[in-house]
């Protein structure tokens, strides 16, 4: 009887070891295709404002954007000009050290649509 228990224990431990090894190999090689990092799109900087609220500087080609992310939504704040590069500050940054923000031009889309509707 003791031999059966010993054999059962040895085979059970061998199967558990084999399952753990297979899981390790799967995790190691399942994400093998993540080396295709985009050269066009990337996150340059990220700062956490509060739990689950972040500010990102995102690079898309040669353009950079300031984006706010929340649990419910993501908002484009503005396009950053080309002269402002992210930099690490050794001292506390002043307002003059922050990147310059360029606003998007506002187009009166709704007014144009109402004019077209009234013309019909």
* 60 and 102 part of one domain: yes
* 102 and 70 part of one domain: yes
Domain-embedded: residue 117: no
pLDDT tens, position by position, 23-79: 998 888 876 555 556 778 888 888 988 888 999 999 888 889 999 998 888 888 888
- On whether the pTM is more than 0.85, the answer is no
Q: What is the DSSP string of 1-67?
A: -HHHHHHHHHHHHHHHHHHHHHHHHHHHHHTGGGG---SSEEEEEEEEEETTEEEEEEEETTEEEEE
* 102 and 72 part of one domain: yes
pLDDT tens, position by position, 12-24: 999 999 999 999 9
Q: Is the pLDDT higher at 117 or at 18?
A: 18
Q: Which domain holds residue 42?
A: 37-86+98-106
Give the chain's domain count: 2
């Amino acid at each position: 009887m003791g031999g059966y228990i010993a054999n059962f224990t040895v085979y059970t431990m061998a199967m558990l070891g084999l399952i753990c090894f297979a899981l390790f190999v799967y995790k190691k090689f399942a994400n093998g295709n993540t080396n295709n990092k985009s050269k066009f799109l990337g996150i340059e900087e990220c700062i956490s404002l509060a739990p689950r609220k972040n500010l990102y500087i995102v690079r898309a080609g040669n353009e950079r954007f300031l984006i706010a992310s929340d649990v419910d939504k993501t908002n484009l704040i503005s396009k950053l000009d080309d002269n402002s590069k992210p930099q690490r500050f050794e001292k506390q940054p002043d307002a003059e050290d922050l990147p310059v923000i360029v606003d998007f031009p506002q187009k009166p889309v709704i007014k144009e649509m109402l004019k077209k509707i009234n013309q019909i």
